[in-house]
Amino acid sequence: MDAGITISQEQLQKLSINQIQSLHILSLSAESLRDLLQKESEENPFMDYSPSTSNNISSDGSTSFLNFIAAPEERSVKQFILEQVNLSNFTTPQWALFSYLTDYVDTRGYLTITEEELKKKIPLPDGLFASCLRILQNLDPAGIGATSLTNCLKLQLQRKKQLTPLLENLIENHLNEIGAQDISHICQSLKTPKKQILAAIRLIKRLNPAPLEGLFETNSTYIVPDVIIRFMPTGHEIILNDAWVASYSMSDYYVRMMHTTTDESVKKYFKTKYTRCRLLFYNIERRRQTLYNLTDVICHHQQAYLQNHGPLAPMTLADIAKEIGVHPSTISRSIKNKYLQTPYTTLSFKNLFQRPFPKTGKDISKEALKKELCCLIKSEDTKHPYSDAQLTNILSTQFGRSFSRRLIQKYRIQLHIPNSYERYG
């Protein structure tokens, strides 16, 4: 009897551990899951890693290579530069120094080390630095490899064959006055007509002071969508953005070793790692299916918003949980830290959930009410703009329920729409 109770308790404990891991994996974003698998593959001999093709779940629930969409791969400045050069065009010393210099090009495109500073670090033959700098500064975009702002602007004009003595003088000696719009002082200093100065300044302002700015934002947070949806005449397509999961598999080699080893301590170790690996794969598959089912139901509820950027429909965690057949807490974990890519934008799953107004009548979300308020004001006669009271009456009639003037006024202010007096025109 005691033995039977012990077995039952062990099974219950295992079930709890499995559930805990399942819930944890469900709450992970695609990026966090990738990190988890990478760490597990380093620690668990049963988990093999080999880059492979896609295993994304498509709209019919099957897998398809055609639906593969890789997460954006972040390139470094060094990679960006080296992709543009041909190794055969370099001498051995040139390539060694050029590759070293690329480590000192920042995310703006500027070279942050001087020849003098470099000579303190490594032996530098005469002319080698200058030849490598020329190669770097001839790459795209124009201005890359600049050593200063003036150098950057001049490089861009030289590339366009537009660098005149006047432009060179303005860049080297008058950037502060250009910034302060002190045109009179520049005209007097250079003894040049104002029209000619203004034309030159317009040309300078079209140049890019940071050629690589925006391409390599190292301190930015990159949002990688967990799910991608596409709309077609026949319906919608759902793509789970986790193709890299297929790169991980159970190691046949270690499975055979587990079955053939006679060392009990080794067998115990293998069984522990094998069970952990199998459970991880099982819970990842459950996560994928839950995320797919969740997105499918959301697409039906929010099609107008996702496809045409219409108003959000009222939708709660409980609504979706009931349709899928899970607890609302499962939906809460499923949408945690996850993003959905639509034809228009990438947004957080949680932003798609919105409670309806707690009143009788037709369900209407705050988002829909605000959107209709905007439409009313855009279409109004500017000679006779609607007052807040009139807007309240129109919206109440339109939606078949009673809204307070204070609520409509609050939403108008939140939308940064001025009052009727200020809209008069």
Query: Encoding tokens for residue 357?
Result: 């107004």
Residue 210: pLDDT over 80: yes
- Compute the mean pLDDT over every residue in the chain, rounded to the nearest whole number: 81
pLDDT digits (tens, 9 = 90+) for 246-266: 888 898 989 999 999 899 999
Q: Could you state, in order of their start, the residue ranges of all structural domains in the chain?
A: 25-67+223-350, 77-205, 356-423
32-46, 119-133, 344-358, range with the lowest pLDDT: 344-358
- Tell me, what's the pLDDT at 93? 84
Kindly list the distances between the CA atom of residue 301 and the CA atoms of 199, 316, 343, 358, in Å, as whole numbers in the listed order: 55, 10, 17, 19
DSSP codes joined into one string, 362-416: S---HHHHHHHHHHHHHHS-TTSPPPHHHHHHHHHHHHTS---HHHHHHHHHHTT
pLDDT digits (tens, 9 = 90+) for 134-165: 999 999 889 999 999 999 999 999 998 999 99
Q: What distance in Å separates the CA atoms of residue 326 and residue 421, rounded to the nearest whole number?
A: 52
Kindly list the distances between the CA atom of residue 133 and the CA atoms of 229, 350, 361, in Å, as whole numbers in the listed order: 46, 50, 72
Residue 133: pLDDT over 60: yes
pLDDT digits (tens, 9 = 90+) for 265-293: 999 999 999 999 999 999 999 999 999 99
Encode burial over 160-186: b for 16+ CB neighbours within 10 A, e otherwise. eeebeeebeebbeebeebbeeeeeeeb
pLDDT digits (tens, 9 = 90+) for 29-63: 888 888 888 888 888 889 888 765 444 544 444 43
Q: What distance in Å separates the CA atoms of residue 341 and residue 355, rounded to the nearest whole number?
A: 22
Q: Do 171 and 181 form a contact (C-beta atoms < 8 A)?
A: no
What predicted TM-score, i.e. pTM, was given to this entire model? 0.49
DSSP tag of 355: P
Superfamily of domain 356-423, CATH level 4: Homeodomain-like (1.10.10.60)
